[in-house]
Copies of this chain bind each other. A is one copy, B any other.
Amino acid sequence: MNFKHHVFRKRAAVLVCALSLSLLSQPGIAAEQAGAKAGTKVADFRLPNGLQLVVIPDHRAPVVTHMIWYKVGAADETPGKSGLAHFLEHLMFKGTAKNPQGRFSTVVARIGGQENAFTSSDYTGYYQRVPTEQLKTVMEFESDRMTGLVLTDAVVLPERDVILEERNQRMENNPRARLGEQMDAALFLNHPYGKPIIGWRHEMETLSREDALDFYKRFYGPNDAVVVIAGDIEPDTALKLAQETYGQIKPQAAIQQRKRPQEPPQVSPRSLTLADPRVEQPAVQRTYLVPSFATAKVNNLPGQSEALEVLGHVLGTGSNSRMYRDLVVDKRVAVSAGAYYDSSALDMAKFGFYASPADGVTLTQLEAAADAVIANVIDKGVTSEEMERAKSRMIADAIYAQDNQASMARWYGTALMTGATVEDVQQWPARIRAVTTQQVQDAAREWLDKKRSVTGYLVKDTSAPAGQPASIQPVKAEKRT
């Protein structure tokens, strides 16, 4: 749940819409202004219609970051309609009866604001950064499109070409992303996390206006939404604005608690190979199915998610990590290596490692070396020094992230979408500090079990000419993003 992981996760599992420059790609935006401890006075409200409002005051500049999060993501899609959550995110910019297409974005631009949107397996979100005095304006626009979206085939069908082209860019043209897509499909035997957030092409091609509107009506409403406002505003003022805007919307009766098909016991180590002519750097990657913060909580596994976070850091974050030191520096079998864990998932989470071989090293040799690093942690545990260094860095990163309004808002929003509370977020540093070396070793032994994993090999396909892999189909639409 720390910021570094968020940055990874953004790359790995969240599609950020390319409407404008993403705030989130500027993590240092407000970092020069030291001393902000915005997280200490967070307010948490709930309106009578079910909408949750979280306010993070931060008075360093007269701006606010306003985010609305809906509890719906790719894992909530009807089978056969993959990509629908993300498609709807795009279509949310197509206007309402009150505000025709383009007006919202034009107003945001005119007042010097920024806006964007993102979709993950678990949530969909929209945000704007605007001068504080314009906050009510964006809340009016957002509350209007919460239930007022108007879609015609004339806007839906060209947008479908846009998301197909986005798939081309993100997936088909990116061998590493293709490998990840295949690994997810193999890791999850039953859970919809196995489907790509962007969608399978053949299903995206069939998504219709009706599909989008049905999905919208089923999942968008105040009782499924969390508004997070970070910035130069007092909680009571934000609450009043929320009541005047979102507060006027009736709860949506169709919204029910999410319940996805869960995994059976994982009993077989899996592996797969993706050969692509455009691969310049082969790689071996592995992902293990492990508890998320939410499933550890539900299944009464206290501290296990936090132990995995520390383990991910010790094992694979930075040049002092076990993986990097052992594979890149000491043995010189790899040119890059690392590991990661993201606790933020409503259902189970992934723990992964990756490495690219040095010249003359095979993927089999490299995998064996990585397995030896993991076996060593399981057998001998980690040192107190490693624990201290990891914890200090993780907590420092989190404090640093608090200097960025969008990062803060995003941290709370992600947590609230994936089974955590405001309190859970605030207690995160204490929970990390409490992790013991024994817990880290136990977590490695318990969860880094190959039966619960898929190993992926990325290799250069020398049988096909680069640039023309057989499986890529062109989109007839122009490139729009």
A interface residue numbers (CB < 8 A to B): 79-80, 82, 178-179, 182, 185-186, 189-190, 192, 194-195, 200-203, 259-262, 264-265, 267-274, 456, 471
A190 to B271, CA, bound (A): 17
A185 to B186, CA, bound (A): 8
A29 to B182, CA, bound (A): 48
Please tell me how many copies of the chain the complex holds.
2
Which of B79, B267, B268 is A261 in contact with, Cβ under 8 Å?
Answer: B79
Contact A268 B182 (CB under 8 A): yes
User: What would 22 A/B residue contacts be, using CB atoms closer than 8 Å?
Assistant: A79-B192, A79-B260, A80-B259, A80-B260, A80-B261, A80-B262, A82-B190, A182-B189, A182-B267, A186-B186, A186-B189, A186-B270, A190-B195, A190-B203, A201-B264, A203-B261, A203-B262, A265-B471, A267-B274, A268-B272, A268-B274, A271-B271
Contact A178 B80 (CB under 8 A): no
Chain B residue nearest in CB terms to A81? B261
Contact B273 A268 (CB under 8 A): yes
Taking CB atoms, residues of chain B closer than 8 Å to A268 are 179, 182, 186, 272-274, 456
A268 to B192, CA, bound (A): 19
Contact B185 A190 (CB under 8 A): yes
Taking CB atoms, residues of chain B closer than 8 Å to A261 are 79-80, 82, 203
Q: Which of A190, A203, A268, A274 has the most CB of B within 10 A?
A: A268
Contact A185 B192 (CB under 8 A): no
Chain B residue nearest in CB terms to A261? B80
Taking CB atoms, residues of chain B closer than 8 Å to A192 are 79
Taking CB atoms, residues of chain B closer than 8 Å to A471 are 265, 267
Could you list 13 further interchain pairs (A-B, Cβ under 8 angstroms) beyond the known A267-B274, A271-B272?
A: A79-B260, A80-B260, A80-B261, A179-B268, A182-B189, A186-B270, A190-B195, A200-B264, A267-B471, A268-B456, A269-B272, A269-B273, A270-B270
Contact A200 B190 (CB under 8 A): yes
Contact A185 B189 (CB under 8 A): yes
Whole-angstrom distance between the Cβ of A364 and the nearest chain B Cβ: 12
Taking CB atoms, residues of chain B closer than 8 Å to A265 are 471
Chain B residue nearest in CB terms to A472? B265
Contact B202 A264 (CB under 8 A): yes
A268 to B82, CA, bound (A): 20
A202 to B265, CA, bound (A): 9
Taking CB atoms, residues of chain B closer than 8 Å to A190 are 82, 185, 195, 200, 203
Q: Which of A189, A201, A264, A269 has the most CB of B within 10 A?
A: A264
Whole-angstrom distance between the Cβ of A348 and the nearest chain B Cβ: 13
A178 to B451, CA, bound (A): 14
Chain B residue nearest in CB terms to A185? B189
Taking CB atoms, residues of chain B closer than 8 Å to A269 are 272-273
